[in-house]
Amino acid sequence: MPSSSSPTVFLLLLHLFVRLSLFGMTILVEHPDSAVEVEEKKVSDQTGEENELVLDGGFVVPPTNAFGHTFRDYDVNSDRRDGVEEFYRINHINQSVDFVKRMREEYGKLDKVEMSIWECCELLNEVVDESDPDLDEPQIEHLLQTAEAIRKDYPDEGWLHLTALIHDLGKVLHLPAFGELPQWAVVGDTYPVGCAFDESTVHHKHFKKNPDYNNPAYNTKYGIYSEGCGLDNVLMSWGHDDYMYLVAKENKSTLPSAGLFIVRYHSFYALHRAGAYKHLMNEEDIENLKWLKIFNKYDLYSKSKVRIDVEKVKPYYLSLIEKYFPAKLRW
C-alpha cells in the first residue's frame, strides 16, 4: 500500500476500534510505525451481558520470587538450580506409559488413609517441593497464599478459592502413609505420556532416555490419542495433580468441572504457558482452560515470604469444604 494512504487507513481503523469498543470488544490496530492494543477485562454483547471471563482481576505480578530471581527461571545460578535439573532428569526418564498406568491403578483404589480435606492441608506442613525453583516454604503456606490472593480479586467465586486451597494436596504422596513416593513421582511440571514429548516441557533433553521416546506407538504427535479426544482421556505423567483429581472425583466432590480441570492440569505448563497439546483438547477443555489461566497466575506469582494467619481464615475455608466435599474422604 502506498505510504501516502497509510494515515487515512490508520484513522479508519481507529474509528472502527472506537465503535467496536462500545460493545466491549478488544482489537489490535496496526500501523506501519506503531501499534495500539486495548485489553478489556470483560467482553459484553450488545445486551450488556458478559460472555467472557475476567482475565485480569487486578493482581499485580511481583518482579521476583522468594529468592529474588525471576519466576520459573531454571537456568539462573542459585542453590536450587542443579537440584531442580537433576529432579527433572530422573522424572523424564521414568514417567512412561507403563509407570503411569501402574500408579493410577494402585492409587485409584484410594485405600491409604481416611481423613478430611483440612486434615490433609495440615499434613502438607511436612512437605517441601524440590522441583520448585521459586519457593522453599511448607506447602500449607503456598496453598493459603494462592487462595487468599484469588479471594481478594474474585470474591464471589468460592469454588475457585477452595480449588486453590486443595490443588496441591496430592503432594502427600511423598509421605510414608501414602507410600513415600520419590519427589519425581509427586511434584514438577506434568505432561502427557503416550504421545511425543513436546519440546516446550522444561528440561526436554532428558526425555531421550525415557523408554517411550523411541517407541513408534508413543512418539508421534497423536500417539495413542486422536484429534480432539479430550484431555480427560489422556494419560498425564503421574504426580500430585492426577492423584488429587482422582481423590476429588471418586469422593464425589461437587466442584464444577473447571475446578477439577485446574486440579488435574495446574502443573501442565506446556499447555497453559506454551500452548502445546491443544490438538488433544475438546470444547469443554477449551472453556476450562480460561479458568486455569486465571488460576495459574495466582498459583505461580503469589509465592512469597508473606505469612497467612491460618486461624483467621480457617472458618471460611471450612465452610467451603463442607459445601463441596464429604466430611471424610478416602485417599
DSSP state of 117: H
Place of cell 521416546: 213
Query: Is residue 59 very low, low, confident or very high in pLDDT (cuts 50, 70, 90)?
Result: very low
54, pLDDT greater than 50: no
Average pLDDT, stretch 159-166?
Answer: 98
Query: Is residue 142 very low, low, confident or very high in pLDDT (cuts 50, 70, 90)?
Result: confident
Cβ density class 61-81: b for 16+ within 10 Å, e for less: eeeebbbebebeeeeeebebe
pLDDT digits (tens, 9 = 90+) for 79-133: 667 888 999 999 999 999 999 999 999 999 999 999 999 999 999 887 766 655 4
* Residue-averaged pLDDT of the chain: 80
pTM over 0.85, yes/no: no
36, pLDDT greater than 60: no
60, pLDDT greater than 60: no
Q: Three-state SS for 28?
A: strand
18, pLDDT greater than 50: no
pLDDT digits (tens, 9 = 90+) for 183-210: 999 999 999 999 999 999 999 999 999 9
269, pLDDT greater than 90: yes
List, in order, residues 6 or more apart from 275 with CB less than 8 Å away.
none
List, in order, residues 6 or more apart from 147 with CB less than 8 Å away.
161, 162, 164, 165, 313, 317
